[in-house]
């Protein structure tokens, strides 16, 4: 069953509801009875157990610099990863 997220337009209360497709959509806030609107969930669909992640597309070519990561650290991490890969190849 999908989980829907709602936000109250009156008091901004957010809540989640697990609903079947045939259930009536919720229209009122449980706190203040104000109007609520359904929020489309930003959560990506994750296929558990397959190793495939919807957010993982950009990692095809190994580690990519993260926007929050500084470049020197990234290069360092990449070098370390390369060394480990080399070692693994040599040991075969
Ligand atoms: Zn409310």
Q: Establish if 51 belongs to a structural domain.
A: no
CA of 79 to the centre of ligand 1 (A): 53
Over range 82-88, report the average pLDDT.
Answer: 86
Average pLDDT, the chain: 78
CA of 44 to the centre of ligand 1 (A): 27
Range of the domain at 7: 3-39
What total of structural domains would you count in the chain?
Answer: 2
Q: Determine which of 10-19, 22-31, 83-92 has the lowest per-residue pLDDT on average.
A: 83-92
Q: Establish if 54 belongs to a structural domain.
A: no
Edge-first strand listing for the sheet containing 14-18: 14-18, 3-8, 36-39
CA of 22 to the centre of ligand 1 (A): 24
Q: Establish if 84 belongs to a structural domain.
A: yes
What is the value of pTM for the model shown?
A: 0.42
pLDDT tens digits, one per residue of 36-50: 998 876 556 555 665
Query: How many CB atoms lie under 10 A from the CB of residue 28?
Result: 13
CA of 9 to the centre of ligand 1 (A): 7
Q: Establish if 15 belongs to a structural domain.
A: yes
Decide if 41 contacts 35 (C-beta within 8 A).
no
The H or E element that residue 88 is part of is: helix 71-90
Q: What is the pLDDT of residue 92?
A: 67
């Amino acid at each position: 069953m999908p989980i829907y997220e709602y936000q109250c337009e009156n008091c901004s209360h957010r809540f989640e509801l697990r609903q079947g497709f045939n259930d009536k959509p919720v229209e009122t806030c449980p706190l203040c009875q104000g109007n609520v609107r359904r929020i489309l969930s930003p959560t990506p669909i994750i296929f558990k157990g397959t190793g495939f992640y919807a957010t993982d597309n950009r990692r095809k070519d190994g580690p990519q610099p993260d926007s929050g990561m500084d470049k020197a650290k990234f290069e360092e991490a990449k070098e370390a990863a390369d060394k480990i890969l080399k070692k693994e190849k040599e040991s075969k």
